[in-house]
Structure 1
Amino acid sequence: MRARLLLASATMLFVELALIRWTGANIVHLSYFSNFILLGSFLGIGLGFLLPAGRGQWLARWTPVPLAVLVVLVREFPVQVRQTSGEVIYFTAVKTTGLPQWVTLPVLFGLTALIMMAIGKMTADQFRLLPSLEAYRFDLLGSLTGSVSFALLSWLRAPSVVWGVIAAAALLTLGGRRNSIRYSVPLALMVAILALETAASGISWSPYYKIEVTRPTSGSRDYKISANGVPHQSIAPLKVLRRPDSPYERPYRETPRNSHRRVLVIGAGNGNDVAMALAHGAQRVDAVEIDPRLQEIGASLHPARPYDNPRVHVHINDGRAFLERTNTRYDLVVLALPDSLTLVSGASNLRLESYLFTREAFEAAHRHLAPGGAFAMYNYYRQNWLIDRFGSTLTSVFGHAPCITHYGARRRPSWWPVSPPATSPAPPPRGAPPVRCPRPPVTTTPSRICCTAPSPPSTSGSWARSCW
């Protein structure tokens, strides 16, 4: 009884976490609103525990069926971002593949609740066979076992088929001999579908994301990288990266007097920014990337082979944590597209890039600049209010207004090269807007405005306000 309660409780937590991660990796709405599946799980577990001991036995007999149905539906009708948009922020408003949102979300919520209700019922039946305190102890131990086991698999980057095999083995054990045949068919179907996903070309799992790499087509030389069904990065040749209108080239063109000997790249990803730093003569490049799988993909596929260069030092770490632990000063600090498509999400997933876009993070970057050094950041910010917000924060941190460059009417990575002054001028008045270069009329073709932000004069209370 104790062992079965321990196994049932561990299975309940393991399946819950697996559902949250796997559905979020294939249904973009759930990657963005991960609490949706969590709420369905809570509802199902609660209903399973509320059922009296002698009722609801049909749930135990058919537990794997709704699980297999959910896996089939998600696999056959994944919801992925079909194209990015410069006019929206939230993924639920962009063009996606798969069934309509009003169909996908209710069906997944109902199936999740039914799955967890069945496993919760099995756990509750074992719970009632033991004294209350002892049952609570084994239930808690089982919950911790399931949670730690799944966390370990995520850290080891185990593919989804491994999760499915473990869940299937646990459910077969809990179902017993009487349900072995009834359980075997849907569980075998579930494992087979997950095996097909795992064997698909270009699919791998990082501790955070389901990663898909698409090889170049006949008309392109770029590798495309998607994370959880969202276009995330592309690997481009150095010749493309160094084009005059490339945002990768912008911080170096805007800081011609900077030696760029020591460069810090936060959000190094597949290595595009690292390759650019090396091409501009950097003697040392610290490449900080939180996702080890993205760095590995760049190390194996990037045509410039930036991660093979002995001048590059890779740090698998959070960008802000790295800044807090290093004493090195840099000629250039680049905040390079850290998870641009989930920039303003409140709780999108485990990756918390929003902590890089705070006053404290900008102050940490400022402290690590060498005399005459520069800080640059770019992203798909999409909304003017977001640009104004970051610009105001940078103005107050660096003591003078940043330079903002827009790229096109729809997709607008924005650069803010900011040089710290030799002396510290008084900060601008609270609430003062950032300096912005004049914007061109909105057109259907990409447009670019270049502007420079000279170091502010040492006169107290003044800061740079010139463009061009």
Structure 2
Amino acid sequence: MSRLDENPSRRLFLVSFVSLFLELALIRWVSTEIRIFAYVNNLVLLACFLGLGLGCTLPQPRASLTATALSLGALIGLISLPLAIPLHGALRHPLRDTPIMLSAFTDMHIWHRYWSTNLWLDIAIGLGSTALVFGLIALAFIPLGRMTAGLLEGSANRITAYSVNVAAGLLGIWTLNALSCWWLPPWVWFAVAAVGLWLLIPPSTMPRVSLGLLGLAIGYLALSPRLAKRPIIWSSYQKLEIIPARAGMNRVYLVAVNNTFYMGLLDLSRKGLQGLPIFVDPAGASFSQYDVPYRFLDRAPQAALIVGAGGGNDVAGALRHGARRVTAVEIDPGIYDIGRRLHPEAPYADSRVTVRLTDARAAFRRITAPYDLVIFGLLDAHAPSSSYNNTRLDHYVYTEESFREARGLLTDEGVMTVIFDDAQRPFIGARIAGLLHRVFGEEPIAFRVLGNGWFGPGGVVFVASRDMPRLREVLQRDQPLAQFIERRQVRWKQPVTLTTDNWPYLYLDRPRIPALHLCLSGILLGLLAVGRRWVLPVRQPINWHFFFLGAAFLLLEFQNISKTALLFGSTWAVSALTISAILLLILLANWIASRVRPNPRWMYVGLWLAILVAGAIPLRAYNALPEVWRMLAAVGVLNLPVGFAGVIFITSFQRTREPALAFGSNLLGAAVGGLLESLSFLTGIRALLWLAAALYLLAFASRDRL
């Protein structure tokens, strides 16, 4: 007997809370520690759905959470312990390092990719280690799914029971977001989940042993930062590691993001240049990526806007060149805090600097003052934008619509610069040049700034202006700059697909489903087939009605998260509020279904009409509204299909004779819906809304097979 056996409602609430809380914690932690999961972010989500779905269909009358504790402990231990195997002439961690071998797929860009001549061996090793992580996650969630389904099946009132399930999930979301907002490390997250498991697991020998092993794994995870002897910050978005270093006589700091070098806090002031090693020519600083944009102005800028301000290098450059007002936009408060405390030039302490902790697109809509210079810093993201889709924090920054919004903030003679490292993927440079050409009407000036580490990591600098003739006049007057550009000018000839808000995949060379996603999707479908064969009784098929409802609903959720990110910013708060709004609408649908008996046919008609309206209204129509009205209109229109879908689900759930199988089929359908999300790489994001409508049509056709 567990500690809550006497109260099924409390047990249902707790197991539902633990399930969603643990799901989000694993999505964030695994995507951070195993870099390939940051590029296929919903893979962890799908593993959770697969485990929960298979667990719901288990025929056993009771669930043992011992397997959950053991699987979770094994996963935490295997990832966090300093294990090493000899591979390709170097020692590599068997789980943290080997999945990156999947970067051998050449059709998708991955930062700091792994290079090898043995392509198929690397792919096999990468797929094997990824499948192991995926399997451990799925195995951890099978008992949670079984317990949830058993409690739902045994409830006297299914609407009330499902409402308890949803409300607990809502609390799980905000608990993890609160811990992340307070910058608490992962061992705290897993300790919260372990306490929940402790309350659910019966106090017998084997469960106690499993909880003890889980506690040991969490304890080591808590100690590992101290063993590394480097300050580690878990901000709201990323894992940040501060590495003290020296540049000649200067003390500097390097910052690693999600275990990958990201930036250095550089001192390029006159005093800082004097402290560099004698073999470094200080004159090169005038052509650094942080200083060269100001040479395209014939005066000190009245106002400069910097998006992707990071630790403050770009902001310091603006102040060195006499900017009277600087607006610095940075999405990650942790990176800003590091720059505020540790940057040698202390740019964030200057009264001329205004900091906005939000994403670039949200800042573009809220800022009205014209700027002489708009600078896109190094915005290449090492983190996903949400736990529920495959977009990354920077995807919506490098689109045609984003560049048009930035152009609208320039003065009549204003200059816009973008820097990006396209060394590994030249098509990215060609894409950015094409976007600027389309937005400004003329080909931008593009030249390469070498990254020697002393003056920045380097990359290709793109320069465009609302007054290109004046820009060319500046070059004629500044011959050293003109000669520098002539030696390093970059041009691209190959045609590329330009990114838009509908197809924002900067790191994909053209519309297609990457081979990496296809392989990983194959692994998931294989595990689903094997799991179904082992778990489901021979004559117990999947409930296809609920399966299609689950697949369609996940696509609706993906649509809402993507569109609200464009309207209000790709921040953790917007993502959490969007998911919370969806869960609140489900609770509202449950309340409606408990008060009236809606006609399912009319609910489907309303659903398809709501999808039609949501798909027909362009996002620019919302942006034309004042912020409060934009929020109300977006929440109302975008979430209207969710409301109808919620009523349809709970009405069907009331009628089904096998609620556990129905709930499990719904979760398995959600896993397949997550796979279908990858079609957006080929079709664009808007097309998924019509795919969701088609899946609801299939659900309607199979509604009598409950």
Deviates more, 1:370-379 or 1:270-279: 370-379
CA distance in 2, matches of 1:406, 1:37: 38
Question: Does residue 138 in structure 1 map to residue 189 in structure 2?
Answer: no
Q: Is the counterpart of residue 115 in structure 1 residue 140 in structure 2?
A: yes
Residues 440 and 464, structure 2, Cα contact 8 Å, conserved in 1: yes
Question: Match of 2:128?
Answer: 103
Q: Provide the residue aligned with 2:119 in structure 1.
A: none
- Greater relative contact order: 1 or 2 (C-alpha under 8 angstroms, separation 6 or more)? 2
| Identical aligned residues as a percent | 32
Matched residues in 1 for 2:247 and 2:133: separation?
38
Q: 1:213 maps to what in 2?
A: 242
What residue is the counterpart of 1:234 in the other structure?
Answer: 264
Answer whether contact 2:252 2:344 (CA < 8 A) is retained: no
Q: Which of 2, 9, 13 pairs up with 1:2?
A: 9
3-state DSSP of counterpart to 2:459: coil
Q: Which residue of 1 aligns with 2:109?
A: 89
Residues 348, 386 of structure 1: alpha-carbon distance in 2 compared, 3 angstrom cutoff: farther
1:164 aligns with one of 186, 190, 204:
190
Q: Distance in 2 between matches of 1:344 and 1:113?
A: 23
Aligned to 1:413: 459
CA distance in 2, matches of 1:17, 1:104: 21
Is 1:67 equivalent to 2:72 in the alignment? Answer: yes
Q: CA deviation at 1:315?
A: 0.7
Residue of structure 2 in register with 1:401 after alignment = 443
**CA drift at 1:423:** 10
1:151 and 2:177 correspond:
yes
When structure 1 is superposed on structure 2, of 70-79 and 18-27 the one drifting more is 70-79
Per the alignment, in what secondary structure is the counterpart of residue 204 of structure 2?
helix
**Are 1:298 and 2:339 an aligned pair?**
yes
Kept in 2: contact 1:408–1:448 (CA 8 A): no
**Helix, strand or coil: the match of 1:278?**
helix
Query: 1:412: Cα distance to partner?
Result: 6.0
Shift of 1:130: 1.2
Q: CA deviation at 1:70?
A: 0.3
- Mapped to 2, the partners of 1:226 and 1:103 lie a distance apart of 27
In the other structure, the counterpart of 2:298 is 257
Contact 2:327/2:353, CA 8 A, preserved across alignment: yes
Matches of 1:397 and 1:92 in 2, distance apart? 31
What's the offset of the Cα at 1:217? 5.3
Deviation, 1:215, is 1.4
After TM superposition, give the deviation of residue 287 of structure 1 in Å.
Answer: 0.5
CA distance 1:194–1:224, shift in 2 (3 Å): same
What runs of 5+ residues in structure 1 fail to find an aligned partner?
425-436, 441-446, 452-468
Question: In 1, Cα distance between the equivalents of 2:357 and 2:172?
Answer: 27
1:363 aligns with 2:404: yes
2:414 aligned counterpart, secondary structure: strand
1:193 aligns with 2:220: yes
- Paired amino acid for 1:419: S
- Alpha-carbon offset, residue 43 of structure 1: 1.1
* Conserved? CA contact 2:451–2:459, under 8 Å: no
Counterpart among 476, 482, 488 of residue 449 in structure 1: 488
| Conservation of the 8 A alpha-carbon contact between 2:61 and 2:150 | no
Q: 1:324 to 1:184 in 2, by over 3 A?
A: same
In structure 1, C-alpha distance between the alignment counterparts of 2:144 and 2:387, rounded to whole Å: 30
Aligned in 2, Cα 1:270/1:159: closer, same or farther, shift over 3 Å?
same
Specify the code of the residue in structure 2 equivalent to 1:318.
D
Output one character per residue of 1:35-74: Cα deviation in whole Å (capped at 9) or x when no partner.
221121111111111112436x5x4334311111000111
Q: TM-score, normalized by length of structure 2?
A: 0.55
Cα displacement (A) at 1:272: 0.1
1:387 equivalent in structure 2: 429
Is the 8 Å Cα contact of residues 214 and 225 (structure 1) preserved in structure 2? yes
Equivalent position of 1:454 in the other structure: none
Query: For 2:432, what is the secondary structure of its paired residue?
Result: helix
Q: In structure 2, list runs of 5 or more residues that go unmatched.
A: 1-7, 82-92, 117-121, 274-281, 471-481, 491-706
Question: SS of 1:48's equivalent?
Answer: helix
C-alpha separation between the residues in 2 aligned to 1:321 and 1:359?
Answer: 15
Once the two structures are superposed, residues 195-243 of structure 1 have per-residue CA deviations (whole angstroms, 9 ceiling, x without a partner) of 1145452211111111111111587854221222222222111146971
Which range is displaced more, 315-324 or 115-124? 115-124
Greater Cα shift, 234-243 or 61-70? 234-243
Q: Aligned letter for 1:103?
A: G
Question: Number of aligned pairs?
Answer: 427
Which structure's residues are more often helix, by fraction?
A: 2
Helix, strand or coil: the match of 2:445? coil
Tell me, what secondary structure is at the counterpart of 2:373?
strand
Residue correspondence of structure 1 range 292-371 to structure 2 within 5 A? 292-339=333-380, 351-371=392-412
Counterpart residue identity of residue 175, structure 1:
I
Distance in structure 1 (CA, Å) of the matches to 2:414 and 2:216: 58
Work out the CA distance in 1 between the residues paired with 2:211 and 2:232: 27
* Alignment partners' CA distance in 2, 1:174 and 1:350: 35
CA distance in 2, matches of 1:293, 1:326: 23
Q: Is the 8 A contact 1:343 1:354 kept in 2?
A: no
- Classify the secondary structure of the residue corresponding to 1:215: strand
